[in-house]
Amino acid sequence: MKKALVAGALLLSLTAVNAQDLSLSVVKGPTFKQSYKPFRVDISTGAALPQGSGAKGGVMFSVEPKYTFLGMFSVGLRMEAALMARGYVSSDGSTSSGNVMGSASYLATYDYYLTKVIFKPFVGAGTGIYNLASASFSDNSQNTTVAASGASSKVGSMVRSGFEFHHFRFAVEYNFIGSTNQAITDNNTGAKVGTATTKNGYCSIKIGILLGGGRK
C-alpha cells in the first residue's frame, strides 16, 4: 500500500510538472515566436482642424512609409497634404477667414508602441518642413485688406497618440507651426492701419490602413 501511495504521489508530481511546462510554453510561445515584417506603409485620411479665430476646418491625406524594429518602435517619413481655411486676428481684435488653401508637410517621425499584442496603443512625434500656401483676406465691413502672404516654408513639429488594431489605425495629431504676421491696409488710402496674425498650427483626426507589416 505504501509503495502504491509513493508511486501515485510521484506520478502526480510528474504530471503537475509537465502541465506547468506546457502552460509556460503556451504562454511564452506567442510572445517570442511571433515575428512581423519590418517595412510597411500607413495611408490615412481625416479632418484637418486649423487653430485660431476665423479658421475653418477641412480635410487631410497622408502617406507614411515606416520601418519597425523590436516590435515596439518605428521610424518613418510622413508626407501630408491638408486643405483648410486659415483665419486671422487683427490688432484691434477683429477676425476673418480666408479661402480654402492647401499646405504640404514632410516630417521624420517616431512612434513608440505600448504593447505588442493585436491592439496596440502608441504615442509619437515628428519634425520637419511645412510648406504653406499663399493667403489673403479682406474685410468689407471695415474696408480694409490684409496684405497677401506668399507661399512659405516653416520648420515645425508634431505630436500624436492613437492605436492600431490589425491593419486599422486611428490617430489624433497636433502640428506646431509658427504664426504669420501681415499688414492691414486701408482700401481707400493704402495706408497701414494695423497688423494681422495668422495661426498656422492645426489638429488632425485621422483613420487609415496599414499596408505590409504582417507576420512573416
Which of 65, 74, 66, 162 has its CA nearest to residue 112?
A: 74
CB 129 within 8 Å of CB 153? yes
- Write down the domain spans for the chain: 1-33, 35-212
Report d(CA 67, CA 136) in Å as an integer. Answer: 40
Q: What is the mean pLDDT of residues 44-66?
A: 92
Top-confidence residue, 99 or 103: 103
pTM, full prediction: 0.74
| Side-chain half-sphere CA neighbours of 205 within 13 A | 4
Which of 78, 105, 104 has its CA nearest to residue 208?
A: 78
Q: Which of 11-15, 99-103, 119-123 has the least mean pLDDT?
A: 11-15
Q: Which residue has the cell 504653406?
A: 132
CATH class of domain segment(s) 35-212: mainly beta
Q: Which of 38-52, 134-148, 153-167 has the least mean pLDDT?
A: 134-148
Show the CA angle centred on residue 202, arms to residues 63 and 150, nearest 5°. 90
Q: Which residue has the cell 510521484?
A: 10
Top-confidence residue, 175 or 145: 175
- Residue-level pLDDT at 1: 45
Report d(CA 215, CA 130) in Å as an integer. Answer: 35
Task: Give residue-wise pLDDT tens across range 171-212.
Answer: 999 999 998 887 777 767 777 777 777 888 999 999 999 998
- Residue-level pLDDT at 14: 41
Strand partners, 152: 132
Strands 95-113 and 202-212: unpaired
